[in-house]
Amino acid sequence: MRIVVAGGAGFIGSHLCEALLADGHEVIAVDNLLTGQRAHVQAFLDHPRFTFLEHDVTQPLDLAVDQIYHLASPASPEGYRRYPIPTLLVNALGTYHLLELARRYGARFLFASTSEVYGDPLVHPQVESYFGNVNPIGPRSCYDEGKRYGEAMTMEFVRSYNLDARIVRIFNTYGPRMDPHDGRVVPNFITRALRGEPLVIYGDGTQTRSLCYVSDLVRGLRLAMDRDGLAGAVINLGNPHEQTIRELAELVLELTGSMSPILFAEPRPDDPSRRCPDITRARTLLGWEPQVPVREGLQATIAYFAQVLNHAPSAGL
C-alpha cells in the first residue's frame, strides 16, 4: 500500500514509518520539520520504498495514496506554547487538506487526536463518550481546542462524504527519539537524572499520568487504521497503568542510579490533575493492549538518552 505519514519526521511518526516499511509498504513522510528532525528518518532516506517530502500540510497536497495517518502537530506543552498559531492551523487547516486528499483518492484516514480533548477530566478513567473539561481560552487551548476542531472536521467528512476515517486519542507516549528539548516529563527527568541535575516537579507531584511505550502505541495505530468497519470510530490508545509524577521521578532516579535531588516548582496553569485511559474500546474493537511494562520502556528510553547525551556538544542539551 502507498501510505502518507503526516508528521513522519516526528517522534511517533518516525517509529510508524519504520514499522510500515518493515511490512513492505511504500511510505511517504510529509513533514515541515517544525518540531521533528530529519535525523529521525535519516536511516530510511535511501530506502527504495521511502520518500521524505518537506511540506507544510496547512497547504494543499496532491499525491495518489491508500492510507493517510495525520500525526502532524506539535505535541508537547512547551512545543505548542512556542508555536500556538501553527498548532491551531495544522489541526484545523492541515486536517482539512489531508481529509480532502483522502477523499480525492478514496484513501483511509486516521486522525491522531489526544487525551487533551478531555482537558482536566472530571470523569476517571477517561472513556471516549466523555465530552471533557477544557478551558477554551487557556494556555493549553491552542492544542486542546485545535485537536477538538480536528476531530469535528474528521467526523464531518465521515458524515458528509462517507469517508473511511477514524480518530485515535493518544495518551502520554514515550520512548527513544523523543526530543530532549521539548520539555515533556520523560525527557526532562531522564536527561536531568543522567546529568546529575535536579528533577523539577511542577506542583506537588500528586498529579497522575499513564505512560505508553511507543512500540505499543504504533501497534495500536496500525490496528486502528487496518481494521475494517471503523469509519467514525473514536478510540483511546494509552497505557492504563496510572502513576503520580512523584512516583515517576523516583522510578527514573532508581533506574538511572542518579543522586539528583527532586525539587518542586509552581504548577503549570491548567495542568490536568489526573489522566488515565479507559481502553475497553481498544481491547474490544482492536484486541489491543499495551505489552511493555513502564520499567522496561523507561530502561530503553534511558539507554537512548544516554547515547544522545554522550554525543551532545559540551554545552549540553
| Stretch of residues binding ligand UDP (CB under 6 A), selected from 5-13, 197-205, 213-221, 306-314 | 197-205
Instruction: Tell me which residues in 7-36 interact with ligand NAD (CB under 6 A).
Output: 7, 9-13, 31-36
**Cis-peptide, bond into residue 125, ω within 30° of zero:** yes
Residue 56 engages ligand NAD in binding (rule: CB under 6 A): yes
Q: 120 is in the binding site of which of ligand NAD, ligand UDP, none (Cβ under 5 to 8 A by kind)?
A: none
Which run of H or E residues covers position 310?
A: helix 294-311
Q: How far is the CB of 142 from ligand UDP (least distance, A)?
A: 13
For the segment 75-104, give every residue that binds ligand NAD (CB under 6 A): 75, 79, 90, 94
Place of cell 470523569: 123
Residue 251 CB, shortest distance to ligand UDP, in Å, is 13
Question: 8 with 54: CB under 8 angstroms?
Answer: no
Is 207 one of the binding residues for ligand UDP (CB under 6 A)? yes
By the rule CB under 6 A, 204 interacts with ligand UDP: no
The reply to whether 143 belongs to the active site is yes
Select from 5, 27, 50, 58 the one that contacts ligand NAD (CB under 6 A).
58
Helix (H) or strand (E) holding 124: none
Catalytic position from the list 143, 149, 161, 174: 143
Cα–Cα dist 172/29, whole Å:
22
Please state, in angstroms and rounded to a whole number, the distance separating the CA atoms of residues 211 and 88.
25
Quick one: what does residue 253 bind among ligand NAD, ligand UDP, none, with the CB cut-off 5 to 8 Å set by partner type? none
- Taking the alpha carbons at both ends of the chain, their separation in whole angstroms is 39
DSSP track, 181-201: TS--HHHHHHHHHHHTPPEEE
How many residues lie near ligand NAD (CB under 6 A)?
29
Q: Which is nearer to ligand NAD, 9 or 68 (CB)?
A: 9
Residue 179 phi, psi (nearest 5): -80, 120
The number of angstroms, rounded, from the C-alpha of 132 to the middle of its chain's C-alpha atoms is 19
Q: Which does 271 bind (CB under 5 to 8 A by kind): ligand UDP, ligand NAD, none?
A: ligand UDP
- The site string for ligand NAD over 213-252 (x = CB under 6 A, - otherwise) reads ----------------------------------------
d(CA 306, CA 256): 10
Of 163-192, which residues contact ligand NAD (CB under 6 A)? Answer: 170, 172-173
**Rounded to whole angstroms, how far apart are CA atoms 124 and 311?**
42
**What letter represents residue 139's amino acid?**
P
112 near ligand NAD, rule: CB under 6 A: yes
CA 191 distance to own-chain centroid: 20
Distance between CA 82 and CA 210 in Å, rounded?
25
Cβ 198 to ligand UDP, closest distance in Å?
10
Considering only residues 70 to 89 of the shown chain, the ones binding ligand UDP according to CB under 6 A are 76-77
Q: Tell me whether residue 75 or residue 308 sits nearer to ligand NAD (CB atom).
A: 75
Determine if residue 270 is left, alpha or beta; phi over 0 gives left, psi from -120 to 50 gives alpha, anything else beta. left
Check binding of 57 to ligand NAD (CB under 6 A).
yes
Give CA–CA dist 153/148, Å, rounded. 9
Q: Which residues bind ligand NAD (CB under 6 A)?
A: 6-7, 9-13, 31-36, 56-58, 71-75, 79, 90, 94, 112, 114, 170, 172-173
Which amino acids are annotated catalytic?
143
